[in-house]
Amino acid sequence: MERGEPRRSVKARVRAGALLVIAPVLVLCGCATDETLSAGASGQGIDAQRASSASEQEELARARTVLAPLVAQQNERSVRLATFESRASLEFRYRDASGEHFEQCEADIFLAPPNRGALRVMKVGTNLWWIGGDGTRSWIFELNVTPKRATVYDSSASGVFAESGDVVGTGEFTLLSPESVRLLMGHAAIAEEWVPVAFEGVAKDAPLAERFGVRVQLEAKDGSAARLFATTTFGRDGLPRTLSIESMDGVKIAEATLADPVRASMTDIAQGAWPTVARRVEVVAPRSGASIKIFLDTPAASATRMKPRFFDLDALLTQLRPEVVEFVTKSKPGDSSSPAASPSTSPSTSPSTSPSTSPSPSSENSALRREVAP
Tell me, yes or no, whether 3 lies in a domain: no
Distance CA(90)–CA(24), nearest Å, equals 11
Structural domain boundaries, residue 132? 10-373
Q: What pLDDT sits at residue 76?
A: 95
Q: Which tens digits make up the pLDDT trace of 346-370? A: 333 333 333 333 333 333 334 445 5
Distance CA(58)–CA(2), nearest Å, equals 59
Q: Which tens digits make up the pLDDT trace of 110-123? A: 999 988 999 999 99
Q: What pLDDT sits at residue 26?
A: 32
Q: What pLDDT sits at residue 362?
A: 34
Domain of residue 257, CATH code: 2.50.20.10
Give the angle subtended at the CA of 222 by the CAs of 108 and 184, to the nearest 5°: 30
Tell me, yes or no, whether 180 lies in a domain: yes
Q: Which tens digits make up the pLDDT trace of 24-59? A: 333 334 444 444 444 444 445 545 545 557 888 888
Distance CA(264)–CA(172), nearest Å, equals 29
Tell me, yes or no, whether 323 lies in a domain: yes
With a threshold of 0.85, does the pTM exceed it?
no
Cα Dmax for the chain: 67
Q: What pLDDT sits at residue 51?
A: 53
CB 276 within 8 A of CB 239: yes
Q: What stretches in the chain show pLDDT beneath 50?
A: 1-43, 46, 49, 157-173, 332-333, 336-368
Q: What pLDDT sits at residue 72?
A: 97
Q: What pLDDT sits at residue 285?
A: 83
Domain count for the chain, please give it. 1
Distance CA(277)–CA(275), nearest Å, equals 7
Tell me, yes or no, whether 302 lies in a domain: yes
